Amino acid sequence: MAAVAADDLADLAGLLADRSRARFLLALMDGRAWTAGELARVAGVAASTASEHLTRLVDGGLLVERRQGRHRYVQLAGPDQARLVEDLLSYLGPAASGGGLRAVAADEALRRGRTCYDHLAGRLGVALTDAMTGRGLLDEGCAVTGEGWVWFAGLGFGPGGRRAASRACLDWTERRSHLAGAAGAHLCAHLHERGWVRRVGGGRAVRLTPSGERGLHDLLGPAAT
């Protein structure tokens, strides 16, 4: 049993022990499906090299493949795989910026607000979680309270389903918890649908729109923004 676990752990570490594959996983933390060509450009490798790496990640269970016509898309296999990547980032601590002003600006955009697979992270995600806790909608462990379920019902979300309703996710830049789980995913999707948050560029970074600032102020108070 121990030998099998050690082999599996070594195999997983081997999957992560490549810069190109690591860049793919970080890009896919935005929760979307990407083509091999798009990921090849992100990592700066040839399309054939990207395809080989992606096949390994799919076979290893970190990614799933989707076919649409002639196009091959990949995305993270699920929230557990996203949590693994986020936990590793938390272990490393806030990454030092490098590569000039453009890299510093991109790093700051991620710190202000980003998607962590399918929920909100960065200062925005932590502020929302703090505001919800302050209103008694979440307890200190990010569990939805009775009052919180009433609040979420107003957003069209309720208990049920196989996925955990809520959990605390340690934010790797803020070093504090933000809301994850099905409730966190629903809140993120709700804000996107209303146009309250927008993606910055083509990656994970998001920002509040003016209507989002007003809406969240009305919904959760000034602490949310």
Please write the tens of the pLDDT for every residue from 57-107.
999 999 999 887 777 889 999 888 988 988 888 777 655 444 443 444 557
CA 127 to chain centre: 16
- Find the mean pLDDT for residues 193-220: 91
Q: Which domains, ranges and CATH numbers included, belong to the chain?
A: 2-77 (1.10.10.10), 99-224 (no CATH)
* Whether the predicted pLDDT of 193 surpasses 90: yes
Residue 97 Rama label (left phi>0; alpha psi -120 to 50; beta) = beta
% of the chain beyond a pLDDT of 70: 92
Query: How sure is the predictor about 212, in pLDDT bands with cuts at 50, 70 and 90?
Result: very high
- What per-residue confidence (pLDDT) applies to 101? 37
Percent of the chain with pLDDT over 90: 59
Of the ranges 27-36, 97-106, 142-151, 207-216, which one carries the lowest mean pLDDT score?
Answer: 97-106
Q: Which long-range contacts (CB under 8 A, 24 or more apart) does 198-203 make?
A: 199/30, 200/109, 201/106, 201/109, 203/27, 203/30, 203/106, 203/110
The predicted structure's pLDDT at residue 104: 43
Q: What is the mean pLDDT of residues 15-36?
A: 90
What pLDDT digit, counting tens, does each position of 153-186 carry? 999 999 888 889 999 998 888 888 999 999 999 9
Contact between 121 and 170 (Cβ < 8 Å): no
CA 12, chain centre distance (Å): 20
Q: pTM score, two decimals?
A: 0.74
Q: Which amino acid is at 93?
A: G
pLDDT value for 99: 46
**The pair of three-digit structure tokens given for residue 200, joined into one six-digit string:** 């910055």
How high is the pLDDT of residue 94?
54
Structure confidence at residue 53 as a pLDDT band (50, 70, 90): very high
Mean pLDDT of the chain: 87
pLDDT of residue 93: 63
Q: Which of 96, 94, 95, 74 is nearest to 29 (CA)?
A: 74
DSSP H helices, the chain, are 2-16, 19-28, 36-43, 47-59, 79-92, 101-112, 122-134, 146-153, 181-193, 210-220
SS3 63: strand
Task: Identify the bridge partners of residue 207 per DSSP, sorted by sequence position.
Answer: 198
**Three-state DSSP class for 35?**
strand
pLDDT of residue 146: 96
pLDDT given for residue 54 in this prediction: 94
